[in-house]
């Protein structure tokens, strides 16, 4: 029976846990899977980068969801994600596993991107302004918690099974079956627990409204600087993202750190992810207390300066505890920097006539800014080696310092 008057505590945590889990698996854990299954780095980084496309293009079909029941979309999407992850896990045992699993991940990315739009729309429809403000921290916490589960617990499970069975494809198939079970449980839970959602008062469904959304976004004041900020603010981090996994897993003779799958899951997916969450929380507190102008410069420094740690790791290959400390501090800085980025995008979106659509466009452009450096990173690393590649990544961090003062000026204008 539908829970018409249930407390949001019964569904906000699970909705946003379910939102973060497919994203972290498709954007990050895929790099672990394909590295362990022997896919070359240039092939892995190029093709897995295309998995960002649905998150880039979700702005195109998001208006179609405005007049539909978000509750039905959410439960249906979770059921499909359960099926997709189960079948994708099984595909690792096929001879053509790379093409088959990549197709599965692409389908999962499309469903996940649609789920993102429906979840945020449901959040705004089902909660009043006061409760939206109250639960924003709760939703972020459980979104990040799902990332610890996906990149930490699931990867550690696969690593432990790999040791016990000696069968890498089987270890990942079982781990993905566990993910599928989580989504199946969520789909049943939300079907019964979610209160029914009302249709929005005005749904932009016509072609004119659809065009107006994009026209109003790309003709707004200072749009060129806004676009440059979105695309280059995280350029250094984006260039590193796909190569951190093979760097940690590759043998020392190949320039990597020679870390096991289980240890990787503990360091990067659990300890460092916890540091990332701490950065998000402290970043939000600092931004609320001191404001964007005072916080942006220290956040830009803490976002980019720790990239030098990967050069140090590549050259010296220090003890495991120091490796964990370096990577955790880098993720902490990323957590701080990302909060400043989020506040900037929310500010320029909230002042528009179509705040939800403008936010979707901005995050889609952000995904494009992540995809393009990811695509090239594997080939560059294979040509240069890890040390030189990480030096290039540090250089690519410089543009964010040049765009920062312009971002502050625009933020204050809004």
- CATH number of the domain bearing residue 224: 1.20.1250.20
Judgement on whether residues 53 and 195 belong to the same structural domain of the protein: yes
Query: For residue 311, what is the enclosing H or E element?
Result: helix 308-316
* 154, 170, 202 - which closes a domain: 202
pLDDT digits (tens, 9 = 90+) for 147-178: 999 999 999 999 999 999 999 999 999 999 99
Q: Quick check: 88 and 185 in contact, CB under 8 A?
A: no
The number of distinct structural domains making up the chain is: 2
Q: What is the pLDDT of residue 325?
A: 97
Q: For residue 316, what pLDDT is reported?
A: 96
| Same-domain check for residues 315 and 220 | yes
Same domain, 260 and 157: no
Looking at the structure, tell me whether residues 161 and 217 fall in a common domain. no
Confidence (pLDDT) at 207: 56
* Sign of torsion over alpha carbons 73, 106, 25, 347: negative
Asked if 279 and 140 sit in the same domain, the reply is no
Residues 192 and 246 in one domain: no
315 class by beta-carbon count within 10 Å (0-12 exposed, 13-18 middle, 19+ buried) = exposed
Same domain, 166 and 288: no
Residue with tokens 């698996």: 25
Residues 243 and 379 placed together within one structural domain of the fold? yes
Range of the domain at 155: 1-202
Indicate the residue among 136, 169, 202 that finishes a domain. Answer: 202
Structure confidence at residue 69 (pLDDT)? 74
Q: Are 164 and 217 part of one and the same domain?
A: no
Boundary residue ending a domain (148, 167, 202): 202
158 neighbors 261 (Cβ within 8 angstroms): yes
pLDDT of residue 246: 95
Predicted confidence at residue 6, as pLDDT, reads 67
pTM: 0.86
Low-confidence ranges of the chain (pLDDT < 50): 1-4, 201-205
């Amino acid at each position: 029976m539908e829970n018409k008057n249930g407390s949001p505590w019964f569904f906000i945590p699970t909705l946003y846990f379910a939102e973060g889990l497919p994203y972290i698996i498709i954007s990050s854990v895929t790099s672990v899977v394909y590295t362990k299954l022997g896919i070359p780095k240039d092939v892995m980084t190029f093709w897995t980068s295309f998995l960002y496309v649905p998150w880039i293009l979700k702005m195109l079909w998001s208006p179609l969801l405005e007049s539909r029941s978000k509750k039905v979309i959410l439960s249906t999407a979770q059921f499909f994600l359960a099926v997709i992850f189960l079948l994708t896990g099984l595909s690792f045992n096929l001879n053509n596993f790379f093409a088959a699993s990549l197709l599965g991940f692409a389908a999962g990315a499309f469903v996940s991107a649609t789920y993102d739009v429906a979840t945020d729309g449901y959040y705004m429809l089902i909660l009043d302004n006061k409760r939206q403000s109250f639960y924003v921290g709760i939703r972020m916490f459980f979104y990040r918690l799902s990332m610890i589960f996906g990149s930490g617990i699931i990867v550690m499970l696969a690593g432990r099974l790999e040791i016990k069975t000696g069968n890498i494809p089987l270890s990942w198939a079982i781990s993905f079956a566990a993910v599928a079970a989580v989504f199946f449980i969520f789909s049943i839970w939300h079907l019964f627990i979610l209160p029914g959602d009302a249709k929005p008062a005005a749904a932009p469904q016509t072609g004119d409204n659809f065009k107006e959304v994009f026209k109003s976004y790309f003709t707004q004041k200072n749009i060129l600087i806004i676009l440059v900020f979105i695309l280059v603010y995280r350029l250094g981090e984006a260039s590193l993202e796909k190569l951190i996994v093979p760097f940690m897993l590759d043998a020392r003779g190949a320039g990597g750190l020679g870390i096991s799958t289980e240890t990787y899951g503990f360091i990067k997916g659990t300890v460092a992810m916890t540091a990332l969450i701490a950065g998000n929380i402290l970043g939000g507190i600092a931004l609320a207390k001191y404001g964007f102008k005072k916080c942006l410069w220290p956040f830009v420094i803490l976002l980019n300066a720790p990239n030098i740690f990967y050069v140090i790791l590549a050259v010296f290959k220090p003890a495991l505890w120091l490796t964990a400390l370096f990577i955790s501090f880098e993720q902490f800085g990323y957590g701080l920097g990302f909060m400043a980025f989020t506040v900037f995008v929310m500010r320029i979106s909230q002042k528009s006539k179509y705040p939800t659509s403008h936010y979707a466009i901005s995050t889609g452009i952000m995904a494009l800014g992540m995809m393009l450096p990811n695509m090239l990173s594997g080939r560059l690393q294979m040509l240069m080696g890890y040390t030189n590649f990480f030096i290039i990544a540090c250089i690519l961090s410089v543009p964010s310092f040049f765009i920062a003062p312009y971002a502050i000026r625009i933020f204050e204008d809004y």
